[in-house]
Structure 1
């Protein structure tokens, strides 16, 4: 058996699979996010460990035959540790916008785009550390090393400070072309190589389970822990996306359009991410919106209804987009706007607007934002001939049908789509423990297919063009 641990923003999910990649069980534990100031987003790393323990207990299964562990997690977060590996401050998360000025200054330095192949976004790790230099200099001076969120779990599990190539790609300190830290970029932000974790490929062994943690969790001591991956690369591994062909659309807290490539294809002017994949000699391009399924959860919370109940009120056919627009910028926006100050809202409402219309507008707003990401991906020389849908939002037939119309390609829902990154992490654990290669990463069985309707494509293209014109 192989265990995948996915450290999300709103919770920890664990997935247990067997040698044939069949899911044997899942467990979950919730997490909360602290916002001490507007635009800030933090979590206590100890809460990740406590939630991991709870999620593993939620499996309610004997784990004495687990042969490997894989990790995936939210990217870009900054976990700052002192010389004794004590956490110096709450982790600053991927959707935290406090370092926008610092990110803008780093992005103005041409070496960052030239080396990383990416815009320096405010959510990336490096500008967070520059912010600490300016605003928390005493804490900054005590930093011995910086870890990404999932790699703090690895430190607890193994005692090793190691990251993988896909997660490291999102720091703005990493050169994806050579799959290593960049000494000039570290120096430009006042950091040193020895403050960075070691590196491993996502499917390689990156530490072994410590005896006292193994005893606590009921697993064998010494089993390998895979390098793992950032959440989106792990989700792609779960969907079997390792080369040209189908891409990924993820409808989780954030939204993602992801396409694997066999070479590094940077296109920073499009705000598309160009990162290493979780496998050796593979890379990917990715467009990211910061709020996706979280928009529906936000709307449900505002009106005091459960999200599934709101979806049940809607006509299940995608139809043409309505005239009410929803701008899904609850925490700013990344691709293609690169603007942490963007904010959400409805436009086009009248005295006749009702709850159903606004719920549908939320779905359409997220859908059109993802279609704009597909547009940017194509402009960057990438794209996909179909999209495999993963994440919690993938349970909605209506949402996936809308995405097919807006992107113009079939959208496929695999069986077990909601397992996502945790399933991918478990697959990486299997590969690390057995030495298997990418040939074992078959695409899961497809449970649903949503094809674009040629009669609807012009209306969705016109809606996207109208929103872009209004935003301009």
Structure 2
């Protein structure tokens, strides 16, 4: 078998493995295995379940493909708190990004200094999703567990350790912890002091931060046996899932991504860091040496799924209704489960502009537009932070398969948008990184050679009153 690289996408729901030929990037195999389900506001998983899922997914890859693997990288769900003891065993289940029990700790951390100080220190304000808020929760609620901690890792760091035996991370994923400054590539131990621990002494518990082109080393014999891989596989530094997707799309500076999953994300590749004291924009790093300022909304496709259920249809049926709608003043505010951006955790969704002649089609259209308007407000926040948004907008995630989301995104953007051919941009990005750390390979050259970011373009329709739609949304959310 020709040389193969593996990209591993370890998300909240599952682990996906994608095998690509090193030379051409052609996908030769892919597989997935599920993780235990979680039930927010408490959302926790045993880290060993992720490694078991990785092994189960790799076992589905044909042996002749696995025998050709020369490098592997992991992109994982961001922010999760993994605490290990001296023996490398989990002190407690990992608290995931969508565990909101640490909301009180997040507020206390911001109030311990002030928003401007946080923005200067790390480019972001801590929220419940951030790792520092989760560590504060453990410090306050489980001091006995805190005393046992020898290592503090993120989910992708844990899997990289399982692969290589080394405790390392990358600057992209580290930038979502709440204790790492991506503009200087350095930890900020004084922020850990705010938890009530000695931040300086805890630095030895944190992983070494690798650069985007550094190799972690070779796979351990135990990991090679568990995954059915050769014993000379090179391990890449990996990153967070959003950073992996950016690699998989081959983004240039100024390009945007709008991701429509259960929640929504908007981010751009940037050459410069951001520091937003309002908390709307998280000042993350990317996995290629630059930056990835990002806005997250709590409510996306779950809103349209809910409205579809109300109207007695499914997501494709709701899309058909939306595309057949006549313009109206109906507005859906999609804060069905509170909202993260803006920070309205106790908010509820709303419908306005209803009349006796309002149609199912108009309700369907308003649901799609409400989700998109919330994300376009996030794009506006990126621009207000000085982020270049002049490039191409890429629509990804499960919602990108909806004809209505595709068309209305282009309409509200008033420019053509790109919908990538591949749904597995995170695993693809991890595979591209794995290829790039091998001798004689370069990330940009790999992305170009593999044709990453190949997309269908969707053009906006004429006659859509974008100002009226977004103005109506703004009025409804005041």
Same topology, TM > 0.5: yes
User: SS at the partner of 1:284?
Assistant: coil
Confirm whether residue 429 of structure 1 aligns to residue 463 of structure 2: no
Relative to 1, partners in 2 of residues 1:161 and 1:436: Cα closer, same or farther, differing over 3 Å?
Answer: same
Partner of residue 223, structure 1:
233
1:43-442 equivalent positions in 2, closer than 5 A? 43-60=45-62, 62-108=65-111, 109-110=113-114, 111-189=117-195, 190=197, 191=199, 192-244=202-254, 246-269=255-278, 271-280=280-289, 282-297=290-305, 307-308=315-316, 310-311=318-319, 313-314=320-321, 316=323, 320=327, 323-330=330-337, 332-335=338-341, 337-344=342-349, 346=351, 358-382=363-387, 383-416=389-422, 418-440=423-445, 441-442=447-448
Residue 300 of structure 1 deviates from its aligned partner by: 6.2
User: SS at the partner of 2:437?
Assistant: helix
Relative to 1, partners in 2 of residues 1:463 and 1:4: Cα closer, same or farther, differing over 3 Å?
Answer: same
Relative to 1, partners in 2 of residues 1:270 and 1:138: Cα closer, same or farther, differing over 3 Å?
Answer: closer
Distance in 1, matches of 2:55 and 2:397, equals 22
User: SS at the partner of 2:66?
Assistant: coil
Residue 421 of structure 1 deviates from its aligned partner by: 0.6
Greater shift after overlay, 112-121 or 206-215? Answer: 206-215
Distance in 1, matches of 2:330 and 2:226, equals 56
Residue 243 of structure 1 deviates from its aligned partner by: 2.1
Residue 14 of structure 1 deviates from its aligned partner by: 1.5
Contact 2:352 2:476 in 1 (8 A): no
Q: Deviations over 1:181-206 (max 9, x none)?
A: 11222233224101211111234212
User: SS at the partner of 2:251?
Assistant: coil
Contact 2:331 2:370 in 1 (8 A): no
Partner of residue 26, structure 1:
30
Q: What are structure 2's unaligned runs of at least 5 residues?
A: none
Contact 2:249 2:453 in 1 (8 A): no
User: SS at the partner of 1:5?
Assistant: strand
Contact 1:259 1:384 in 2 (8 A): no
Q: CA RMSD in A?
A: 2.6
Distance in 2, matches of 1:329 and 1:218, equals 44
CA radius of gyration, larger in: 2
Contact 1:17 1:24 in 2 (8 A): yes
User: SS at the partner of 1:26?
Assistant: strand
Relative to 1, partners in 2 of residues 1:318 and 1:23: Cα closer, same or farther, differing over 3 Å?
Answer: farther
Distance in 2, matches of 1:238 and 1:263, equals 21
Distance in 1, matches of 2:170 and 2:150, equals 19
Relative to 1, partners in 2 of residues 1:305 and 1:93: Cα closer, same or farther, differing over 3 Å?
Answer: farther
User: SS at the partner of 1:433?
Assistant: coil
Distance in 1, matches of 2:291 and 2:282, equals 10
User: SS at the partner of 1:372?
Assistant: helix
TM-score of the superposition, structure 2-length normalised?
0.88
Confirm whether residue 451 of structure 1 aligns to residue 459 of structure 2: yes
Distance in 1, matches of 2:325 and 2:247, equals 29
- 41, 44, 47: which one aligns with 2:43: 41
Distance in 1, matches of 2:179 and 2:193, equals 9
Contact 2:160 2:237 in 1 (8 A): no
